[in-house]
Structure 1
Amino acid sequence: MRMKAPRFALALLGAVVTSSAWADDVQVAVAANFTAPIQAIAKEFEKDTGHRLVTAFGATGQFYAQIKNGAPFEVFLAADDTTPAKLEAEGDTVKGSRFTYAIGTLALWSAKDGYVDAEGNVLKQNQFQHLAIANPKAAPYGLAATQVLQKLNLTEATRAKLVEGQNITQAYQFVATGNAELGFVALSQIYQEGKITRGSAWVVPAALHEPIRQDAVILAKGKDNPAAQALVDYLKGPKAAAVIAAYGYSR
């Protein structure tokens, strides 16, 4: 005689199957400046939706090349608005999915306490040996840094002192390790809950460079993945907004 499984066991099995059926992974290319915020958002996103982020971090320009060469990314969180718009114009995105998820802030930073003054005069005094920036051709924060130097008439004076990282994370590492006395980084790398977390910094006035509007978009490969749309929706919601603000971004 075959025994029947208890009803509660069958119900539990059904719940597990249903949960796994709705849970998907989503491959996300994330601009390096947004590393810490997306890691914080990912934990809540997985908890709230069951979906899981599989993230890669790097320079926006490098991601563009990888996407064009067939990389498996399904969502792109760029450090600018022009690269996602270009991908959209070229037919590599889901139409209508592009939006601005954050507006970035540039900071001049030193790992040394008191080295950078609140007005950024240390930059104008030009007594340092090395100034780190991200590659301006691939990283929007690097481009913004060159615009600041140009506005302050410091392009030629600092040219021989520039130490260029492939992306904003590498620029940050140059300063953090002492290989450069100071550098231009994303405020999000050194700021949390209303304060600078290490060293000293000058928050660069937005008027000194073009706005760093950071757009997200669902890529063509994510068209049929519900987790891709769920992530975009989540980034527009209040929980993600709170995390984004905590790292010094506006919207």
Structure 2
Amino acid sequence: MKNALFFGLTVAIATLSHADEVQVAVAANFTAPMQQIAAQFEKDTGHKAVLAFGATGKFYAQIVNGAPFEILLAADDETPARLEKEALGLAGSRFTYAIGKLVLWSTDPALVDAKGDVLKSGQFKHLALANPKTAPYGSAAIEAMTKLGLLSNLQPRFVQGENISQTQQFVTTGNAELGFVALSQVLKDGKVSSGSAWIVPANLYEPIRQDAVLLAKGHNKAAAGALLAYLKGDKAKAVIRSFGYELP
């Protein structure tokens, strides 16, 4: 009995001694799924993912200026590729972890129709979207409105969020009657959880390929490599799918 207890204690100490933390910059649209994945990752591996959420463009600027992030989970594929070229990301570490979907959403269950014709009707005062210069979902929204021929008419109604989380907040609080957000933010159990929504057709914007990259500060760090491997595993993929993302 004593031997068994001693053995168990030894294993626990060994596990703790090898546990590590990894600093992760996460695109705001991926907040909810990454929180779930990080909790399961810690339970399964003992490593802890310390998460920061925000706009991909802002994270890029912070990384260039020496921020201590070790992994970037971007909302696009261009930023990780750029970091690799600038030797701030480890060459060959980049991969697509999710493909995002854009949705026009309102808390009003009667406002957004199934075809998005509300954008043409103009029966609203404010339309929220994320800053297209720093947030890929904001850029996708601009692209969609341009292809629909509505951009110039809608621009005076824009309420611009710093990132996709703030954009959703504008709609939730009523500062904008509707807005372009990530499908993952409003999906629950495979359905839009509240209000009304139009999933923007994929042919109206370039695919939102969201790439992960190991940053220079995470090179040779056990927890960083473990998390990237975990994101490619079945448990993480199941969570990602449950929030409405596609997988490559």
Q: 1:193 aligns with which of 180, 189, 194?
A: 189
Alignment of 1:98-137 (within 5 A): 98-137=94-133
- Residue aligned with 1:169, SS: helix
Give the ranges of 4+ consecutive aligned residues of structure 1 lying more than 6 Å apart after TM superposition. Answer: none
Give distance in 2, aligned partners of 1:23 and 1:112: 46
Distance 1:28 1:90 in 2: 19
User: What letter matches 1:184 in structure 2?
Assistant: F
Q: Which whole-Å deviations, capped at 9, do the CAs of 1:121-143 have from their partners, x for residues lacking one? A: 11111121000000000000000
Q: CA–CA distance in 1 between the matches of 2:239 and 2:3?
A: 42
Paired position in structure 1 for 2:233: 237
| Deviation string, structure 1 residues 60-80 (Cα, Å, up to 9, x no partner) | 000000000110101100000
Q: Which amino acid aligns with 1:68?
A: V
Q: 1:211 maps to which residue?
A: 207
In the alignment, does 2:119 pair up with 1:148? no
Compute the TM-score of the two structures, normalised by the length of structure 2. Answer: 0.97
Query: Which residue is equivalent to 2:134?
Result: 138
1:17 aligns with 2:6: no
Structure 1 SS opposite 2:206: coil
Q: CA deviation digits over 1:58-114, x for unaligned, max 9? A: 000000000001101011000000000000000011221100000000000001112
Of 74, 78, 83 in structure 2, the residue corresponding to residue 82 of structure 1 is: 78
1:3 counterpart residue number: none
**In the alignment, what sits opposite 2:165?**
169
CA distance in 1, matches of 2:130, 2:203: 20
Consecutive unaligned residues in structure 1, runs of 5 or more: 1-5
SS in 2 for 1:53: strand
Deviation at 1:9, TM superposition (A): 4.4
Whichever of the two has the greater Rg, that structure is 1
Give 3-state SS (helix, strand or coil) of 1:215's partner. Answer: strand
TM-score of the aligned structures, taking structure 1 as reference length:
0.96
Q: Which amino acid aligns with 2:162?
A: Q
- What is the aligned-residue RMSD (CA, Å)? 0.9
Aligned length in residues: 246
The unaligned stretches of length 5 or more in structure 2 are: none
Distance in 2 separating the partners of 1:93 and 1:242: 27
SS at match of 2:51: strand
Report the 3-state secondary structure (helix = DSSP H, G, I; strand = E; otherwise coil) of the residue aligned with 1:183. Answer: strand
